[in-house]
Amino acid sequence: MTIGSLGGANALRAMRHRNFRLFFGGQAVSLVGSWMQSVAQAWLVLTLTNDPLMLGVVAAAQWTPVLLLGLFGGLIADALPKRPTLIALEAVMATLAIVLGVLTLAGIVEVWMILVLAVLLGCANAIEMPVRQAFAVEMVGREDVVNAIALNSATFNAARVIGPAIAGVTIAVFDISIAFFLNGLSFLAVIVGLLLMRAEELRTPPPIPRPRTVRAVLASVGEGISYSRRSSSVLLPVVVVGLAATIGMNFQVTIPPFARDVLGGDAASFGFLMAASGLGSVAAALFLATRRRPSPWAIAAGALMLGVGLLVTAAFPAYVVAMLALAFAGFGAIWMAANGNTLIQATVPDELRGRVISVYTTVFAGSTPLGALFAGAIASTWGAVAALLVGGALTTVVGGGALLWLRAHPAAARPVFPRSTGAMPVLPAPAVPAPATPAVQIAASPAALGTLQDAAPRGPLTTTERRS
């Protein structure tokens, strides 16, 4: 069935699957609410503290649990049925959003309360992210998973356009708590979509045996780490996106003070700047949806574009220039992150999918604690322009270095895409040199992909593309 085509390819082929259509529709509603809360929470923290560093502290509080628990979330994704697990997690995150709305509406909200809720949300995200990522292939199969991830990314970034714009107007005209309540209610769309799915149409692989001892748990998690270290199709996106996300994808920390202190704007200005980056990201995701396979070269090129966009934003601090440059940076960020995600999804064996994806999501989202504190400290000490300049310069170096590495390793630039869903691809022995530090070290020290939407997580997203 052909629904539409772009560039000669069926850009909506994943929509053939009823379960994915339900999931897609729920996400389309819920993600607008999540982006409204993202903008509202950042503005609330800045209003309460008048300190950009606190934006980084809140981001660190939310994503530290992902860094610490994300690998175990991948084990849960491989061991438990994904649909009921997602339903439970969406309900938890809806409750947290409504609690924040009640505290704000009552006028009793304080920063420590936001920090506690951020930690709890991070614990939920540590499980939800790898489970949701691994669930995509069960809805559409390996043959359409690249398109499904691209469409999810397009939805996420379309919400980045709509959500911040609505949030900015809502904050300016009504009360900031409205954004939190709407986000809490929006999770119902995802829950209803999951409940309406037909279980018999899901391509559910046999669950792995549940480990019963601490040693067995660690050994099972280690399988995912070992595969990630040995496969350049996993390690390249983990390293490149981890580095770029840590130093460059901290928009929720750098753009609020940039909009207010440099451009002289308000919450609406902040919202429209975020919407501009979202427009670029939507374009990248839709372009990826027309492609059958991801490209390692696109990961490096996307990092380079992200860095250049940040440099232009900082070098020419004018509102129109900032919107155009952030749109360019948004395109690069999603072109990098979504290609990295789909490259992993298209090459990883099904029995390791959750654990390998958790390595990616742990690094992608878990890099936020260091990245947010890094950007927040620079913005607080030297200003938002300095934070954007440093992040842009270092991200440009990451992208350029990845391009040089791919030129020197042509085999890594031409990954193998298996068509079967069960056989594990044959990998080189672990002694083969890797392109960078092992994934387990990256997870512990993100200064070395830190998702991104689809690494991108739910709730108040304190970094822009971490759900990709």
The total number of structural domains that make up the chain: 1
pLDDT of 299 reads: 93
Which residue pairs from 263-268 have beta carbons closer than 8 angstroms and sit at least 24 positions apart in sequence? 263/317, 263/318, 263/319, 263/322, 265/319, 266/168, 266/172, 267/39, 267/43, 267/167, 267/168, 267/171, 267/172, 268/168, 268/169, 268/171, 268/172
- Does the structure show a pLDDT above 50 at 467? no
**Hey, which of 82-96, 127-141, 146-160, 162-176 has the most confident mean pLDDT?**
82-96
CA distance linking residue 20 with residue 336, whole number of Å: 24
Would residue 53 count as lying in a domain?
A: yes
- At residue 389 the predicted structure's pLDDT band, cuts being 50, 70 and 90, is very high
Of 82-86, 161-165, 186-190, 240-244, which gets the smallest average pLDDT? 161-165
Other Cβ atoms within 10 Å of 205 Cβ, number: 17
The answer to whether residue 462 is domain-embedded is no
Domain coverage including residue 280: 9-205+212-444
Q: Which whole number is the average pLDDT over 308-315?
A: 94
CATH code at position 195: 1.20.1250.20
Instruction: Look at residue 431 and tell me whether its pLDDT is greater than 80.
Output: no
In a domain, 3, yes or no: no
Q: Is 228 inside any structural domain? A: yes
**What pLDDT shows up at residue 404?**
93
- Which residue did the predictor score with more confidence, 177 or 75? 177
Among the residues of 106-213, which ranges form H helices? 111-140, 145-173, 177-195
- Using the predicted structure, report yes or no on whether residue 353 has a pLDDT greater than 80: no
pLDDT at residue 457, as a whole number? 44
Neighbours of 302 (CB within 10 A): 28
The DSSP code sequence of 287-303 is: HHHT-SS--HHHHHHHH
Q: What is the pLDDT of residue 364?
A: 75
Indicate whether 464 belongs to any domain.
no
Structure tokens at 376: 């927040």
pLDDT of 440 above 90: no
The answer to whether residue 226 is domain-embedded is: yes
Task: Say yes or no to pLDDT of 9 above 50.
Answer: no
Whether the predicted pLDDT of 5 surpasses 80: no
**To 10 degrees, what angle do helices 353-366 and 232-248 make?**
20
411 burial class (0-12, 13-18, 19+ CB within 10 angstroms)? exposed
Residue whose token pair is 């998973």: 145
pLDDT above 90 coverage of the chain, percent: 30
pLDDT of residue 219: 80
Confidence of residue 430 (pLDDT cuts 50, 70, 90): very low
pLDDT class for 368, splitting at 50, 70, 90?
low
- Please give the helix or strand (H or E) that residue 10 lies within, else none: strand 9-10
Alpha-carbon distance of 354 to 77, in angstroms, equals: 5
Amino acid in position 430: P
CA–CA separation, 288 vs 274, rounded Å? 21
Q: pTM above 0.75?
A: no
- Give CA–CA dist 343/187, Å, rounded: 29
